[in-house]
Amino acid sequence: MNNRRVVVTGIGALTPIGNNLQDYWDNLIKGVSGAASITHFNAENFKTQFACEVKDFVATDFLERKESRKLDLFSQYALVVAKQAIEDSFLNTNEINPDRSGVIWGSGIGGMKTFFSESVNYGTGNGTPRFNPFFIPKLISDIPAGHISIKYNFRGPNFTTVSACASSTNALIDAFNYIKWNKADIFIAGGSEACIFEPGIGGFNAMMALSTRNNDPKTASRPFDKNRDGFVMGEGSGALILEEYKHAKKRGAKIYAEVVGSGLTADAHHITAPHPEGLGAKNVMKLAVEEAGITPSEVDYINVHGTSTPLGDIAETKAIKSLFGEHAYNLNISSTKSMTGHLLGAAGVIETIACVMAVKNNIIPPTINHETKDPEIDENLNLTLNKAEERTVNYALSNTFGFGGHNASILVKKHIE
Protein backbone atom coordinates (compact mmCIF):
# COMPACT_ATOMS: atom_id res chain seq x y z
CA MET A 1 0.00 0.00 0.00
CA ASN A 2 2.81 2.39 0.85
CA ASN A 3 4.23 1.97 -2.65
CA ARG A 4 1.14 3.39 -4.37
CA ARG A 5 2.22 6.34 -6.51
CA VAL A 6 -0.02 9.20 -7.64
CA VAL A 7 0.20 10.90 -11.02
CA VAL A 8 -1.58 13.73 -12.84
CA THR A 9 -3.30 12.50 -16.00
CA GLY A 10 -5.73 15.32 -16.83
CA ILE A 11 -6.05 19.07 -16.28
CA GLY A 12 -8.84 21.62 -16.56
CA ALA A 13 -8.41 25.38 -16.09
CA LEU A 14 -10.79 28.34 -16.17
CA THR A 15 -8.87 31.43 -15.10
CA PRO A 16 -8.71 35.21 -15.53
CA ILE A 17 -5.98 34.74 -18.16
CA GLY A 18 -7.30 31.73 -20.05
CA ASN A 19 -10.41 29.57 -20.20
CA ASN A 20 -8.53 26.35 -20.86
CA LEU A 21 -5.18 24.84 -19.93
CA GLN A 22 -3.22 25.91 -23.00
CA ASP A 23 -4.38 29.53 -22.97
CA TYR A 24 -3.76 29.75 -19.24
CA TRP A 25 -0.22 28.36 -19.55
CA ASP A 26 0.65 30.46 -22.62
CA ASN A 27 -0.44 33.66 -20.88
CA LEU A 28 1.43 32.76 -17.69
CA ILE A 29 4.63 32.43 -19.69
CA LYS A 30 3.95 35.67 -21.57
CA GLY A 31 3.37 37.53 -18.29
CA VAL A 32 -0.18 38.64 -19.07
CA SER A 33 -2.20 40.40 -16.37
CA GLY A 34 -5.84 39.41 -15.95
CA ALA A 35 -6.77 42.56 -14.01
CA ALA A 36 -9.28 45.08 -15.36
CA SER A 37 -12.27 47.15 -14.27
CA ILE A 38 -15.02 45.08 -12.67
CA THR A 39 -17.88 44.19 -15.01
CA HIS A 40 -19.88 41.85 -12.75
CA PHE A 41 -21.45 44.82 -10.92
CA ASN A 42 -21.21 48.61 -10.71
CA ALA A 43 -18.19 49.17 -8.46
CA GLU A 44 -17.90 52.95 -8.79
CA ASN A 45 -18.62 53.52 -5.08
CA PHE A 46 -16.15 50.90 -3.87
CA LYS A 47 -12.57 51.54 -2.76
CA THR A 48 -11.46 48.85 -5.21
CA GLN A 49 -13.02 48.99 -8.66
CA PHE A 50 -11.05 46.27 -10.47
CA ALA A 51 -10.42 42.54 -10.24
CA CYS A 52 -9.23 39.54 -12.23
CA GLU A 53 -12.47 38.26 -13.74
CA VAL A 54 -12.92 35.23 -15.95
CA LYS A 55 -13.40 36.62 -19.47
CA ASP A 56 -16.04 35.70 -22.07
CA PHE A 57 -17.70 33.04 -19.94
CA VAL A 58 -21.23 32.10 -20.94
CA ALA A 59 -22.59 29.25 -18.86
CA THR A 60 -24.88 27.97 -21.59
CA ASP A 61 -21.89 27.41 -23.86
CA PHE A 62 -21.06 24.51 -21.52
CA LEU A 63 -24.24 23.67 -19.63
CA GLU A 64 -27.89 23.33 -20.52
CA ARG A 65 -29.84 26.46 -19.62
CA LYS A 66 -32.09 24.57 -17.20
CA GLU A 67 -29.07 23.05 -15.47
CA SER A 68 -27.12 26.31 -15.28
CA ARG A 69 -29.98 28.10 -13.51
CA LYS A 70 -29.75 25.61 -10.65
CA LEU A 71 -26.08 26.40 -10.08
CA ASP A 72 -24.20 29.26 -8.44
CA LEU A 73 -21.37 30.61 -10.59
CA PHE A 74 -18.73 28.78 -8.53
CA SER A 75 -20.46 25.46 -9.32
CA GLN A 76 -20.74 26.34 -13.01
CA TYR A 77 -17.00 26.95 -13.08
CA ALA A 78 -16.41 23.61 -11.32
CA LEU A 79 -18.41 21.58 -13.81
CA VAL A 80 -16.64 23.22 -16.74
CA VAL A 81 -13.12 22.38 -15.51
CA ALA A 82 -14.12 18.87 -14.43
CA LYS A 83 -15.30 18.23 -18.00
CA GLN A 84 -12.06 19.68 -19.39
CA ALA A 85 -9.97 17.47 -17.10
CA ILE A 86 -11.92 14.31 -17.94
CA GLU A 87 -11.59 15.00 -21.66
CA ASP A 88 -7.90 15.87 -21.33
CA SER A 89 -7.25 12.57 -19.53
CA PHE A 90 -9.08 10.55 -22.22
CA LEU A 91 -10.76 8.79 -19.33
CA ASN A 92 -13.63 6.50 -20.31
CA THR A 93 -15.79 6.68 -17.22
CA ASN A 94 -17.63 3.52 -18.31
CA GLU A 95 -14.43 1.49 -18.08
CA ILE A 96 -13.36 2.34 -14.53
CA ASN A 97 -14.67 1.14 -11.18
CA PRO A 98 -17.06 3.87 -9.98
CA ASP A 99 -16.73 2.74 -6.38
CA ARG A 100 -12.97 3.42 -6.56
CA SER A 101 -13.41 6.84 -8.17
CA GLY A 102 -13.97 9.99 -6.10
CA VAL A 103 -14.33 13.75 -6.13
CA ILE A 104 -12.71 16.09 -3.61
CA TRP A 105 -13.33 19.78 -4.16
CA GLY A 106 -12.22 22.97 -2.44
CA SER A 107 -13.92 26.33 -2.00
CA GLY A 108 -13.24 28.93 0.65
CA ILE A 109 -16.59 30.70 0.43
CA GLY A 110 -18.96 28.75 -1.84
CA GLY A 111 -22.19 30.23 -3.14
CA MET A 112 -21.94 33.66 -1.56
CA LYS A 113 -23.41 35.30 -4.66
CA THR A 114 -26.54 33.20 -4.34
CA PHE A 115 -26.86 34.07 -0.64
CA PHE A 116 -26.48 37.77 -1.40
CA SER A 117 -28.99 37.74 -4.25
CA GLU A 118 -31.61 35.86 -2.25
CA SER A 119 -31.10 38.15 0.75
CA VAL A 120 -31.48 41.27 -1.41
CA ASN A 121 -34.68 39.88 -2.97
CA TYR A 122 -36.14 39.19 0.47
CA GLY A 123 -35.01 42.52 1.91
CA THR A 124 -36.51 44.55 -0.92
CA GLY A 125 -39.79 42.65 -0.87
CA ASN A 126 -42.84 43.08 1.33
CA GLY A 127 -41.65 40.65 3.99
CA THR A 128 -43.24 37.61 2.43
CA PRO A 129 -40.61 34.81 2.46
CA ARG A 130 -40.16 33.89 -1.18
CA PHE A 131 -36.95 31.97 -1.73
CA ASN A 132 -35.68 29.99 -4.69
CA PRO A 133 -36.16 26.24 -4.04
CA PHE A 134 -32.55 25.80 -5.16
CA PHE A 135 -31.29 28.47 -2.72
CA ILE A 136 -29.64 26.02 -0.31
CA PRO A 137 -28.32 23.54 -2.93
CA LYS A 138 -26.81 26.49 -4.84
CA LEU A 139 -25.25 27.94 -1.71
CA ILE A 140 -23.48 25.08 0.08
CA SER A 141 -19.76 24.72 -0.52
CA ASP A 142 -19.85 20.94 -1.04
CA ILE A 143 -22.32 21.02 -3.94
CA PRO A 144 -19.78 21.04 -6.83
CA ALA A 145 -18.37 17.72 -5.60
CA GLY A 146 -21.90 16.35 -5.55
CA HIS A 147 -22.73 17.57 -9.05
CA ILE A 148 -19.46 16.24 -10.48
CA SER A 149 -19.94 12.82 -8.91
CA ILE A 150 -23.51 12.59 -10.19
CA LYS A 151 -22.48 13.59 -13.71
CA TYR A 152 -19.65 11.05 -13.96
CA ASN A 153 -21.00 8.34 -11.61
CA PHE A 154 -18.00 8.58 -9.27
CA ARG A 155 -19.22 6.75 -6.15
CA GLY A 156 -16.01 6.82 -4.09
CA PRO A 157 -14.99 9.42 -1.47
CA ASN A 158 -16.84 12.68 -2.05
CA PHE A 159 -16.48 15.86 -0.02
CA THR A 160 -15.28 19.46 0.01
CA THR A 161 -12.38 20.98 1.91
CA VAL A 162 -12.76 24.46 3.39
CA SER A 163 -9.56 26.11 4.60
CA ALA A 164 -9.91 29.60 3.13
CA CYS A 165 -7.27 30.23 0.47
CA ALA A 166 -5.67 26.82 1.09
CA SER A 167 -8.92 24.97 0.26
CA SER A 168 -8.13 23.54 -3.17
CA THR A 169 -4.58 22.56 -2.21
CA ASN A 170 -6.17 20.77 0.74
CA ALA A 171 -8.46 18.99 -1.73
CA LEU A 172 -5.53 17.85 -3.87
CA ILE A 173 -3.63 16.66 -0.80
CA ASP A 174 -6.61 14.68 0.47
CA ALA A 175 -7.06 13.03 -2.93
CA PHE A 176 -3.32 12.24 -3.02
CA ASN A 177 -3.58 10.61 0.41
CA TYR A 178 -6.72 8.61 -0.31
CA ILE A 179 -5.05 7.07 -3.35
CA LYS A 180 -1.88 6.29 -1.38
CA TRP A 181 -3.99 4.71 1.36
CA ASN A 182 -5.70 2.46 -1.21
CA LYS A 183 -9.11 4.01 -0.56
CA ALA A 184 -9.54 4.89 -4.24
CA ASP A 185 -7.74 4.74 -7.59
CA ILE A 186 -8.75 7.98 -9.22
CA PHE A 187 -10.04 11.43 -8.28
CA ILE A 188 -11.31 14.58 -9.86
CA ALA A 189 -9.84 17.13 -7.45
CA GLY A 190 -9.60 20.89 -7.50
CA GLY A 191 -11.52 23.96 -6.49
CA SER A 192 -13.59 26.93 -7.60
CA GLU A 193 -14.47 30.40 -6.38
CA ALA A 194 -16.65 33.26 -7.62
CA CYS A 195 -16.74 36.21 -5.23
CA ILE A 196 -16.30 39.25 -7.46
CA PHE A 197 -19.50 41.01 -6.47
CA GLU A 198 -20.59 43.51 -3.84
CA PRO A 199 -20.05 41.61 -0.54
CA GLY A 200 -16.85 39.97 -1.79
CA ILE A 201 -15.16 43.22 -2.78
CA GLY A 202 -16.76 45.25 0.01
CA GLY A 203 -15.86 42.75 2.70
CA PHE A 204 -12.21 42.52 1.74
CA ASN A 205 -12.09 46.31 1.34
CA ALA A 206 -13.33 46.67 4.90
CA MET A 207 -10.38 44.53 6.01
CA MET A 208 -7.98 46.76 4.04
CA ALA A 209 -6.82 43.60 2.24
CA LEU A 210 -7.33 44.63 -1.40
CA SER A 211 -5.20 46.84 -3.60
CA THR A 212 -6.81 50.17 -4.43
CA ARG A 213 -4.64 50.95 -7.46
CA ASN A 214 -7.70 51.91 -9.51
CA ASN A 215 -5.71 54.07 -11.91
CA ASP A 216 -3.61 51.11 -13.11
CA PRO A 217 -5.29 47.75 -12.42
CA LYS A 218 -2.97 45.65 -14.57
CA THR A 219 0.02 46.45 -12.35
CA ALA A 220 -1.86 46.32 -9.05
CA SER A 221 -0.87 42.76 -8.13
CA ARG A 222 2.86 43.25 -7.51
CA PRO A 223 4.26 40.61 -5.14
CA PHE A 224 7.58 41.51 -3.46
CA ASP A 225 7.46 45.09 -4.78
CA LYS A 226 8.01 47.80 -2.17
CA ASN A 227 4.83 49.60 -3.28
CA ARG A 228 2.46 46.64 -3.07
CA ASP A 229 -0.77 47.59 -1.33
CA GLY A 230 -2.86 44.42 -1.13
CA PHE A 231 -4.11 41.55 -3.23
CA VAL A 232 -6.27 41.63 -6.35
CA MET A 233 -9.41 39.51 -6.23
CA GLY A 234 -9.58 36.73 -8.80
CA GLU A 235 -12.10 34.05 -9.71
CA GLY A 236 -12.22 30.80 -11.61
CA SER A 237 -11.52 27.13 -11.20
CA GLY A 238 -9.08 24.32 -11.81
CA ALA A 239 -9.23 20.53 -11.76
CA LEU A 240 -6.71 17.69 -11.84
CA ILE A 241 -7.27 14.03 -12.55
CA LEU A 242 -5.16 12.33 -9.90
CA GLU A 243 -4.65 8.65 -10.55
CA GLU A 244 -2.78 5.71 -9.10
CA TYR A 245 0.26 5.12 -11.30
CA LYS A 246 -0.43 1.47 -12.27
CA HIS A 247 -4.08 2.30 -12.92
CA ALA A 248 -2.97 5.09 -15.27
CA LYS A 249 -0.38 2.91 -17.04
CA LYS A 250 -2.85 0.08 -17.53
CA ARG A 251 -5.18 2.32 -19.54
CA GLY A 252 -2.31 3.98 -21.43
CA ALA A 253 -2.86 7.42 -19.95
CA LYS A 254 -0.51 10.31 -20.60
CA ILE A 255 1.20 11.49 -17.44
CA TYR A 256 1.95 15.16 -16.79
CA ALA A 257 3.80 14.77 -13.49
CA GLU A 258 3.87 12.80 -10.25
CA VAL A 259 2.64 14.09 -6.89
CA VAL A 260 5.24 13.08 -4.30
CA GLY A 261 4.83 15.22 -1.19
CA SER A 262 2.43 17.30 0.83
CA GLY A 263 2.19 19.24 4.06
CA LEU A 264 -0.53 20.74 6.23
CA THR A 265 0.17 23.01 9.21
CA ALA A 266 -1.28 25.91 11.17
CA ASP A 267 0.35 29.18 12.18
CA ALA A 268 -1.62 29.27 15.47
CA HIS A 269 -0.88 32.99 15.44
CA HIS A 270 -3.59 35.33 14.07
CA ILE A 271 -6.84 35.10 12.12
CA THR A 272 -5.54 37.03 9.10
CA ALA A 273 -1.86 37.92 9.56
CA PRO A 274 0.89 35.37 8.90
CA HIS A 275 3.38 34.35 11.54
CA PRO A 276 6.00 37.15 11.25
CA GLU A 277 8.87 34.69 10.88
CA GLY A 278 6.92 32.39 8.57
CA LEU A 279 7.02 29.51 11.06
CA GLY A 280 3.94 27.69 9.75
CA ALA A 281 5.08 28.25 6.17
CA LYS A 282 8.50 26.81 6.90
CA ASN A 283 7.02 23.76 8.63
CA VAL A 284 4.55 23.00 5.84
CA MET A 285 7.23 23.10 3.13
CA LYS A 286 9.48 20.92 5.30
CA LEU A 287 6.75 18.28 5.61
CA ALA A 288 6.21 18.19 1.84
CA VAL A 289 9.92 17.80 1.13
CA GLU A 290 10.31 15.10 3.77
CA GLU A 291 7.36 13.08 2.50
CA ALA A 292 8.86 13.17 -1.00
CA GLY A 293 12.05 11.65 0.41
CA ILE A 294 14.27 14.36 -1.02
CA THR A 295 16.48 17.06 0.41
CA PRO A 296 15.53 20.75 0.24
CA SER A 297 18.40 21.27 -2.23
CA GLU A 298 16.57 19.16 -4.83
CA VAL A 299 13.63 21.58 -5.14
CA ASP A 300 13.97 23.69 -8.29
CA TYR A 301 10.92 25.96 -8.16
CA ILE A 302 8.51 27.31 -5.58
CA ASN A 303 5.22 28.84 -6.67
CA VAL A 304 4.70 30.96 -3.58
CA HIS A 305 1.46 32.10 -2.01
CA GLY A 306 2.77 35.61 -2.80
CA THR A 307 -0.44 37.60 -2.55
CA SER A 308 1.12 41.09 -2.85
CA THR A 309 0.28 41.99 0.74
CA PRO A 310 2.80 43.93 2.86
CA LEU A 311 3.22 41.29 5.59
CA GLY A 312 2.64 38.04 3.73
CA ASP A 313 5.35 38.38 1.09
CA ILE A 314 8.00 39.14 3.70
CA ALA A 315 7.04 36.24 5.98
CA GLU A 316 7.07 33.72 3.11
CA THR A 317 10.52 34.70 1.86
CA LYS A 318 11.81 34.42 5.44
CA ALA A 319 10.38 30.91 5.63
CA ILE A 320 12.06 29.91 2.37
CA LYS A 321 15.43 31.20 3.51
CA SER A 322 15.06 29.46 6.87
CA LEU A 323 14.26 26.05 5.37
CA PHE A 324 16.39 26.07 2.23
CA GLY A 325 19.46 27.91 3.52
CA GLU A 326 21.99 28.65 0.79
CA HIS A 327 19.90 26.70 -1.74
CA ALA A 328 17.26 29.44 -1.48
CA TYR A 329 19.49 31.44 -3.84
CA ASN A 330 19.69 28.61 -6.41
CA LEU A 331 16.01 27.89 -6.84
CA ASN A 332 13.42 29.92 -8.73
CA ILE A 333 10.58 31.58 -6.88
CA SER A 334 7.56 33.20 -8.49
CA SER A 335 4.06 34.37 -7.69
CA THR A 336 1.61 33.75 -10.52
CA LYS A 337 -0.97 35.76 -8.55
CA SER A 338 0.75 38.73 -10.14
CA MET A 339 -1.12 37.66 -13.28
CA THR A 340 -4.23 35.78 -12.13
CA GLY A 341 -4.99 37.72 -8.99
CA HIS A 342 -5.96 35.74 -5.90
CA LEU A 343 -8.58 33.07 -6.59
CA LEU A 344 -9.11 32.48 -2.87
CA GLY A 345 -10.16 28.84 -2.43
CA ALA A 346 -9.31 28.05 -6.06
CA ALA A 347 -5.83 29.60 -5.91
CA GLY A 348 -4.03 26.42 -4.89
CA VAL A 349 -5.18 24.25 -7.75
CA ILE A 350 -4.40 26.72 -10.54
CA GLU A 351 -0.98 27.32 -8.99
CA THR A 352 -0.37 23.57 -8.70
CA ILE A 353 -1.23 23.40 -12.39
CA ALA A 354 1.46 26.03 -13.00
CA CYS A 355 3.93 23.80 -11.15
CA VAL A 356 2.89 20.72 -13.12
CA MET A 357 3.40 22.59 -16.38
CA ALA A 358 6.73 23.98 -15.16
CA VAL A 359 8.13 20.50 -14.53
CA LYS A 360 6.69 19.23 -17.80
CA ASN A 361 8.03 22.10 -19.93
CA ASN A 362 11.10 23.28 -17.96
CA ILE A 363 9.87 26.87 -17.86
CA ILE A 364 9.31 29.05 -14.79
CA PRO A 365 6.43 31.53 -15.09
CA PRO A 366 7.38 35.03 -13.91
CA THR A 367 6.40 37.39 -11.14
CA ILE A 368 5.24 40.42 -13.13
CA ASN A 369 4.79 44.08 -12.15
CA HIS A 370 7.95 44.31 -10.07
CA GLU A 371 9.44 47.82 -10.19
CA THR A 372 10.89 48.76 -6.80
CA LYS A 373 12.96 46.57 -4.48
CA ASP A 374 11.70 46.10 -0.96
CA PRO A 375 14.61 46.35 1.51
CA GLU A 376 12.86 43.79 3.73
CA ILE A 377 12.99 41.14 0.98
CA ASP A 378 16.37 39.65 0.13
CA GLU A 379 17.23 40.99 -3.34
CA ASN A 380 19.53 38.01 -3.98
CA LEU A 381 16.59 35.60 -4.14
CA ASN A 382 15.62 34.71 -7.69
CA LEU A 383 12.03 35.91 -7.74
CA THR A 384 11.81 35.38 -11.54
CA LEU A 385 10.98 39.02 -12.01
CA ASN A 386 8.98 40.18 -15.04
CA LYS A 387 10.15 37.47 -17.44
CA ALA A 388 9.81 33.68 -17.63
CA GLU A 389 13.00 31.63 -17.26
CA GLU A 390 13.98 28.34 -18.82
CA ARG A 391 15.65 25.79 -16.55
CA THR A 392 15.41 22.10 -15.80
CA VAL A 393 12.64 21.63 -13.26
CA ASN A 394 12.60 18.23 -11.58
CA TYR A 395 10.70 19.24 -8.44
CA ALA A 396 8.25 22.10 -7.96
CA LEU A 397 6.51 23.14 -4.75
CA SER A 398 3.24 25.08 -4.50
CA ASN A 399 2.36 27.01 -1.32
CA THR A 400 -1.06 28.25 -0.27
CA PHE A 401 -1.93 29.91 3.03
CA GLY A 402 -5.39 30.82 4.30
CA PHE A 403 -7.05 33.13 6.81
CA GLY A 404 -7.15 31.29 10.11
CA GLY A 405 -3.51 30.33 9.75
CA HIS A 406 -4.07 27.35 7.45
CA ASN A 407 -1.00 26.30 5.44
CA ALA A 408 -0.82 23.74 2.64
CA SER A 409 2.04 22.73 0.35
CA ILE A 410 2.11 20.18 -2.45
CA LEU A 411 5.21 18.92 -4.24
CA VAL A 412 5.24 17.59 -7.80
CA LYS A 413 8.00 15.72 -9.63
CA LYS A 414 8.92 15.41 -13.29
CA HIS A 415 7.67 12.14 -14.76
CA ILE A 416 10.18 10.25 -16.87
CA GLU A 417 9.10 7.01 -18.52
Q: Where exactly are the structural domains of the chain?
A: 6-250, 262-414
305 catalytic per annotation: yes
Annotation says 415 is catalytic: no
The model's pTM is 0.97
Catalytic-role residue among 342, 355, 370, 406? 342
Q: Give 261-320 pLDDT, tens digit per residue.
A: 999 999 999 998 889 888 999 999 999 999 999 999 999 999 999 999 999 999 999 999
pLDDT band per the 50, 70, 90 thresholds, residue 404: very high
Helix locations, 293-336, DSSP H? 310-324
**Has 269 been annotated as catalytic?**
no
Check if 6-250 and 262-414 are the same fold: yes
- Three-class SS state of 72: coil
Q: Do residues 74 and 194 touch, judged by C-beta distance below 8 A?
A: yes
Q: Which residues of 162-188 are buried (b: 16+ CB within 10 A; e: fewer)?
A: bbbbbbbbbbbbbbbebbbeeebbbbb
pLDDT tens-place string over residues 171-187: 999 999 999 999 999 99
Give the type of residue at 162.
V
- Confidence grade of residue 1 (pLDDT, cut at 50, 70, 90): very low
**Bridge partners of residue 240, in order along the sequence:** 11, 189
299-315 pLDDT, tens digit per residue, is: 999 999 999 999 999 99
Nearest to 14 by CA among 48, 72, 59, 67: 59
In the CATH scheme, what architecture does the domain 6-250 have? 3-Layer(aba) Sandwich (3.40)
> Is-contact 298 328, C-beta < 8 A?
no
- Using CB atoms within 10 A of its CB, is residue 333 exposed (0-12), middle (13-18) or buried (19+)? buried
Q: What is the mean pLDDT of the chain?
A: 96
Cα R_g (the chain), whole angstroms: 20
How would residue 250 be classed by pLDDT, with cut points 50, 70 and 90?
very high
Distance CA 261, CA 288 (A): 4
Per-residue pLDDT reduced to its tens digit, 334-348: 999 999 999 999 999
Fold of 262-414: Peroxisomal Thiolase; Chain A, domain 1 (3.40.47)
Residue among 305, 355, 370, 406 flagged as catalytic:
305
CB atoms within 10 A of CB 123: 8
- Residue of 40, 52, 147, 165 marked active site: 165
